[in-house]
Amino acid sequence: MAHISELLTPSDLQRISSLHVLARQVVEGFCSGLHRSPHKGFSVEFRQHRAYVPGDEIRHIDWRVFARSDRFYIREYEEETNLRATLLVDLSGSMNYGRGGVTKWEYAVRLAACLSYLMLQQQDSVGLATFDSRLGTVIPPRSRVRHLQLILDTLQAAKPGGETELGTVFRDLVPKLHRRGLLVVISDCFADVPELLKALAHLRHAHHEVLVFQIWDRDELDFPFRKWTEFESLESAGHKHLLDPVQLRNTYLENLARFREELTQGCRRHKVDIVPFVTDQPYADALAAYMNLRMARA
Amino acid sequence: MSFLNAALLGGMAAAGIPVVIHLLHRHRFEKVRWGAMHLLERVLRENQRRLKLQQLLLLLVRMAIPLLLALAMARPVWQAGRSLLGGGKTSTVVLLDNSYSMEAGRTGATAFGLAKEEAVRLLGALPRGSDMQVVLMGQGGGTLFERPSFDAGYTAEALRGLDAGYGTATVPAALEFASGVMGQMHEASRQVVVFTDFQRVSFTAPEAPALSRALERLRSGEQPAEVVFFDVGQDVHDNLAVEALEYSRLMVGVGQKLAFKAHVRNFGDTPRSDLPVYFRVDGEEKAAAQVTLGAHQSGQVNFNHTFSTAGSHVVEVSITGDSLAADNVWMASIPVRDRLPVLLVNGEPSAQPLRGETDFAEIGLQPFSAGRVAQADLLGTRVIPAEQLDAKRLSECAVVVLANVARLTEVQVRALEGFVSDGGGLMIWPGSRVDVAWYRKVLFNGGAGLLPQAYDAVQGDTKEGGRTVALAAQRFEHPALDFFNDPRNGSLAEGAVRLWMSFAENPAEAAPSRTIARLETGAPFLVEKAFGTGRVVAACTALDADWGNLPMRPFYVPLLQRLTVDLASGVETERNLEVGQRLVALLPAGAAEKKVRIGTPGGGSLELTAQRRGGRAMVEYGGTQRPGLYTVEAPDGGKTHFVVNAARRESDLQRLASREIERFGGENHVAVVRDGTQYQDLERQRRFGRELWQPILVAVLVLLLGELWLQQRFTRPAMAAKKPVEGRSR
């Protein structure tokens, strides 16, 4: 049976004001579709016995207890986390784009909330850092469930604006991450590609796993404008161009393809995972991408 | 350049509409706050110049579309300097193919009738003051008027009265003629309009190169003329023709059987079975035969006839069954003699039988009379000694034979020269009495005399029974000797001579002679020469048996007879003519300066005055344009028949295919039109200029498509941009 989160698009979910509720809806919906336990393979510690119910795996039956009591009991374990994840959310002005639907920023915030919830559910430590041209709030990773509220509050309070300067931001961030872990960058990556790649390389050099969720708006990919249009920069006030988008579309799309290709190739070179997302895609896709990575690391 | 609807040029202002739309777009724009500015700016930085150029190109194309559309609607006319040529007056030569193939046609309308109709219309539409001339193409050309006419009405009247001729059309010659006629015309603007049925034989090799040269001369002369070919031909394929009538051209005698071979051809695509062929003599049907001819096949029909009376007879072979009548009949005029007088001049008479110089010849020329047989001889001989030869006796004979005559007086020589010059025949046979020096000096006279080649010296073995030289066995071209090409008629090689006269080489200034038979040594046996309208044949050996065995051989009689009849035939002028060929009739001297009546085909007649020509009277007539029978009636009531046959070159009605006609026009840079409307369009273009709306509309269409293509080209996404959005690296 499909969970409600599978049926809702990001714009429907926008109406759910509480990030916590939203994150739970999405994550629970996502997990109910999984057939294999994500916990498998992690080091565990015995917590308690519970009565066997049909459907439990037979290999988890404690045969000693059965010998003593002639009843079936299942052994349950307390998982021990070994993942420290930090979500790096882009607060630059360009993230504020979105015509009539979800802006990229809103999409990024919800995505970050869902990921945090999922990670904490899995007993992982999760932290948060926001940035634009400079590093903003930094919340170190914790695995406590209460920690989620702090992250969600910080995300809700943040407002996008300013330019993107990923190189500086990532250099400043590295000393603040004391242990190596997973860095999930949620950004449109609208920056100078060599600079960005250099910054990612810096993170990799510090032995962090890096996963980039690149957020796109559908307009940025299709460039659907037909009339003469004045494009005004979201990052630099007063910076604008009046042009005929029909005439420009070809070259824009070629340029876009080149940009994406450079970025993808660069990330591959530095062993950085980059996953493009469009703001009309379900959040579950992002969670699936994360889980895939998580499984690969396991 | 001028415009037929100049007011519509105002529509060109619509060219401003794309500019206005462009400006409006620039002022009514949307505002978008945009994140991916770095991508846009990179595009602008790298492509600004190209984008501007594209924008400009599109704008120009869009402006050009209404501009050209308005221009097309204004109907511009390209005049190319026509106005400089003098108010549109044009000198026009109408070249009318009046060969008899133009009489072919379907449903009653002939190609010639159509050509006349179109020519009248064309000349009537010429601007006032234009001069015009009509050239008839048949037999190489001839003008309808002495001088070019300025009166279209008068010209039309004359054209309507024309009938198709019966001659052949020689297009190159007619174009050359028209080129000469053009020299008499006045206007700077000139045109030659050729009305023709594009008959294949007139436009293909060997005529084609001469035709191209003639057209080139017309086009690139001092005052070049435009040449238009007006195709009035119709696809008529069926035609039957009597192509030729073969018979012996030697003199025919009363009671002699004459064989006729008629060649009949089917030029059509439909096979004809049991086609009747009629044979008539003097208008009376004597025989009929049937022949079956496949498509494009010819056949032969044989007839025989024996003439029972002397005089001029007309033989006619005819067929029926097609629309083109001119080539369905072949006529022949055959003079039949009851007796052909031959004068034998005996240079060595003898009282003993067969010892006289002409004894064998006398028997050989009239064998039936000599043998007391009741059959008639064509030839009648009279033997005289040399001293009796005079003008009176010469006037009574057709052929003279000099046999071993030592020499003649000067008066006799003059009389003999006059006789031959007026068409008489002379045979010279040498012998032991011949004064070689006199023959060389007087009779040869440096090549100007009667003897074809001077006798040199006696050759051979003088002893009785000595070594002989045979006559050469050869193929003969001469009509008197071709009889011996058939071995059944005997062979000259059976004859041998012991003694003979060698002929000296002719000096360069001498009148030409030809050897018609040889000895096996290669030395001439018989030589021939034309002298005036008559001919002379000289032999190298004697007429009797003194120098050889010729009289003992079977060929002797036919040889003498055929030589004599052939020489006698030269007295007559040609009675079988082609259309347009001059008719020349020789009449007795008494007819000179008197009126001679000539009956023409169709029942008409005319009178001409006979002219004196040597010892005879002569009448000439050039108006043989109609095929048929022309009868010359001398003042004494004697009639001579002349027949005129249409040349069969025109019988093959096959036309050039449409593609070939087009190619002909293209290769020779001449316009070809099929009807009056096409000609009027052409004329309108030439006189008023060419309307340009059609090419402009095509240009508009091209621009519309171009605009669409440019638009697509400038906005089509590149392949690279079509990569899927989603996807994960690594």
DSSP assignment of A137-177 equals: EEEEEE--TTHHHHHHHHHHH----S---HHHHHHHHGGG-
Give chain B's largest Cα–Cα span: 150
Under DSSP, is residue A43 helix (H, G, I), strand (E, B) or coil? Answer: coil
Spatial distance between the Cα atoms of A154 and B245, rounded to a whole number of angstroms: 126
Name the residue of chain B whose CA is nearest to A285's CA.
Answer: B726
Which of A225, A250, A272 lies closest to B718 in CB terms?
A250
Alpha helices by DSSP H, listed for A174-238, are: 193-205, 218-222
**What pLDDT score does A9 carry?**
55
Secondary structure of B39-108 as H, E, C letters: HHHHHHHHHHHHHHHHHHHHHHHHHHHHHHHHHHHCCEEECCCHHHHCCCCCEEEEEECCCHHHHCEECC
Cβ–Cβ below 8 Å for A251 and B47: yes
CA distance B609 to B618: 9
Q: Look at residue B710 and tell me whether its pLDDT is greater than 60.
A: yes
- Report the residue of A256, A264, A274 to disrupt the B interface, i.e. the one with the largest count of B CBs within 10 Å: A256
Q: Chain B 45-64, CB below 8 Å of chain A: which residues?
A: 46-47, 51, 54-55
Asked if the structure places residue A201 within a domain, the reply is: yes
> Is residue A272 domain-shared with residue A131, that is, in the same domain?
yes
What is the per-residue pLDDT for B311?
Answer: 84
| Interface check B712 vs A, CB under 8 A | no
The answer on A203 and A58 residing in a single domain is no
CB-based contact A227 B30, cutoff 8 Å: yes
B200 phi, psi to nearest 5 deg: -55, -45
A116 and A173 belong to one structural domain = yes
Instruction: Give the domain CATH number at A164.
Output: 3.40.50.410
CATH architecture, range B92-236+653-688: 3-Layer(aba) Sandwich (3.40)
| Among A188, A231, A264, A265, the residue to mutate for chain B (most B Cβ within 10 A) | A231
Q: How far apart are CA A114 and CA A284, in angstroms?
A: 9
| CB distance B214 to B175 below 8 Å | yes
B34 contacts A231 by C-beta, under 8 angstroms? yes
Q: Would you say residue A41 has pLDDT above 50?
A: no
Contact (CB<8Å) B721/A229: no
Which residue in chain A is spatially nearest to B24 when comparing CA positions? A228
Q: B506: which 2 tokens?
A: 């002719």
Q: Taking CB atoms and an 8 Å limit, are A190 and B47 in contact across chains?
A: no
Q: Do A150 and A85 belong together in one domain?
A: yes
CB B71 within 8 A of CB B8: no
By percentage, how much of chain A surpasses pLDDT 70? 80
Structure tokens belonging to residue B648: 């069969």
Categorise residue A24: left if φ over 0, alpha if ψ from -120 to 50, beta otherwise. alpha
CATH fold, domain B340-569, is Rossmann fold (3.40.50)
First to last CA, chain B: 71
The span from the CA of B272 to the CA of B268, in Å, is 9
Q: Is B113 left (phi over 0), alpha (psi -120 to 50) or beta?
A: alpha
- Contact yes or no for A221 and B725 at CB 8 A: yes
Whether A262 and A279 map to the same domain: the answer is yes
**Does residue A252 or residue A146 have the better pLDDT?**
A252
State whether ipTM is beyond 0.90.
no
CB contacts < 8 A, A to B, total: 145
Q: What is the DSSP letter of B485?
A: G
Which strands form B671-673's sheet, in the order they lie side by side?
A: B142-143, B132-136, B91-96, B190-196, B226-231, B671-673
The CA-CA-CA angle for residues B2, B3, B7, to 5°, reads 135
Quick check: A35 pLDDT over 50? no
Give contacts of A275 with chain B, Cβ < 8 Å.
728
Please give the Cα distance from B312 to B284 (Å, whole number).
15
* Rounded CA Rg of chain B: 41
**Cβ-nearest to A230 among B29, B35, B715:** B29
CA of A149, closest CA in chain B: separation in Å? 30
Domain boundaries, given as residue ranges, for chain B = 2-80+691-722, 92-236+653-688, 240-337, 340-569, 576-645
Give CA–CA dist B713/B209, Å, rounded.
Answer: 53
Residues in chain A within 8 Å Cβ distance of B54: 247
| Dist CA B431 CA B541 (whole Å) | 7
Three-class DSSP category at B262: strand
Comparing alpha-carbon positions, the chain B residue that sits nearest to A105 is: B35
Q: What is the pLDDT of residue B84?
A: 45
Taking CA–CA distances from B28, the nearest residue in chain A reads A228
Which of B30, B716, B725 has the CB atom closest to A216's CB atom?
B725
Q: Please, which residues have CB within 8 angstroms of residue B154's CB and are 6 or more apart in sequence?
A: none
pLDDT confidence band for A199 (50 / 70 / 90): confident
Nearest by Cα to A80 from A46, A48, A116, A44: A44
Quick one: A50 and A128 in the same domain? no
- Phi, psi at residue A252, to the nearest 5°? -60, -45
Report the candidate in B667, B658, B687, B640 with the shortest Cα–Cα distance to residue B78: B687
Domain count, chain A: 2
Nearest CA in chain B to A292: B728
Look at strands B616-621 and B583-587 and give their pairing. Answer: antiparallel
Using alpha carbons, list the distances in angstroms from residue B4 to B70, B615, B670, B679, B691.
Answer: 12, 78, 28, 21, 9
Chain A residues in contact with B37 (beta carbon < 8 A):
94, 190, 231, 233-236, 239
Q: What is the mean pLDDT of chain B?
A: 85
User: For A200, what's the count of Cα atoms within 13 Å in the CB-facing half-sphere?
Assistant: 28
In three-state secondary structure terms, B379 is strand
The one-character DSSP state at B439 is I
- What is the C-alpha separation between B130 and B418, in angstroms, rounded? 57
Residue B465 touches partner A, C-beta closer than 8 Å? no
Are A61 and A99 in a shared domain?
Answer: no
Q: Does A9 reside within a domain?
A: yes
| Per-residue three-class SS string for B540-601 | CCCCCCCCECHHHCCCHHHHHHHHHHHHHHCCCCCCEEECCCCEEEEECHHHCCCEEEEECC
Calpha distance B723→B730 (Å, rounded): 17
- State residue B538's pLDDT score: 96
* Cross-chain Cβ contact A97/B35 below 8 Å: yes
Phi/psi of residue A207, nearest 5 degrees: 65, 25
Residue B371 is inside which H or E element, if any?
none
Question: Which residues of chain B have a CB within 8 Å of the CB of A230?
Answer: 29-32
| Segment B20-35, tens digit of pLDDT | 888 887 777 888 888 8
d(CA B404, CA B501): 12
Q: Which of B219-223, B574-578, B622-626 has the lowest mean pLDDT?
A: B219-223
Residue partners of A12: CB distance under 8 A and separation at least 6 = none
pLDDT (tens digit per residue) in B306-361:
888 888 899 999 998 776 777 889 999 988 877 789 999 999 998 888 888 999 99
Q: CA B231 to CA B171: how far, in whole Å?
A: 14
Q: Is residue A275 part of a domain?
A: yes
Same domain, A95 and A192: yes
> Residue B322 has what pLDDT?
76
Report the alpha-carbon distance of residue B604 to residue B201 in Å, rounded. 33
Q: B701 CA to chain A: closest CA distance, Å? A: 23
Residue A292 banded pLDDT, cuts 50, 70, 90: confident
Q: Which domain holds residue A18?
A: 4-34+81-297
Nearest to B479 by CA among B545, B562, B383, B597: B562
Q: Name the B residues in 25-44 with CB < 8 Å from any A CB.
A: 25-26, 28-44
* pLDDT over 70 (residue B664): yes
Beta-carbon contacts of A29 under 8 Å, excluding residues fewer than 6 positions away, are A2, A3, A4, A5, A6, A284
CATH number for the domain running over B576-645: 2.60.40.10
Q: Has residue B477 got a pLDDT over 90?
A: no
A91 is a domain residue: yes
pLDDT computed for residue A178 by the predictor: 78
In a domain, A62, yes or no: yes
What pLDDT shows up at residue A1?
39
Outline where B144-220 has alpha helix (H).
152-160, 171-182, 200-203, 207-219
The H or E element spanning position A87 is strand A84-90
Q: Is the pLDDT reported for residue B685 higher than 80?
A: no
State the alpha helices, DSSP H only, in B347-409: 359-365, 367-370, 391-395
Q: Is A281 helix (H, G, I), strand (E, B) or coil?
A: coil
pLDDT in tens, B278-291: 999 998 999 999 99
The one-letter code for the residue type at B340 is: L
B240-337 and B92-236+653-688 share a CATH fold: no
Do A98 and A57 lie in a common domain?
A: no
Q: Which of A244, A246, A268 sits opposite B729 (nearest CB)?
A: A268
| One domain for residues A110 and A72 | no
Residues A53 and A135 in one domain: no
Nearest CA in chain B to A262: B729
Contact residues, chain A, for B47 at CB < 8 Å = 248, 251
Nearest to B355 by CA among B541, B538, B542, B500: B542
A155 and A214 both lie in a single domain: yes
Say if A39 falls within a structural domain: no
More confident residue, B48 or A142: A142
Contact B141, B147 (CB under 8 A): no
Q: What is the pLDDT of residues B150-193, one digit of tens each?
A: 888 888 888 888 877 777 778 888 888 888 888 888 887 888 99
CA distances from B552 to B335, B361, B364, B367, B489 (A): 32, 11, 11, 14, 15
Q: Does the pLDDT at position A293 exceed 50?
A: yes
Mutate to test the interface with B, among A166, A214, A246, A253 (most CBs of B within 10 A): A253
Q: Which two tokens stand for residue B514?
A: 């030809």
For the residues A97-119, what does the mean pLDDT come to? 85
Q: Which pLDDT score, from 0 to 100, does residue B688 have? A: 67
Residues A273, B728: C-beta atoms closer than 8 Å: yes
User: To which H or E segment does residue A10 belong?
Assistant: helix A10-14
From the options 3.40.430.10, 3.30.70.120, 2.60.40.10, 2.70.98.10, give the CATH code of B240-337: 2.60.40.10
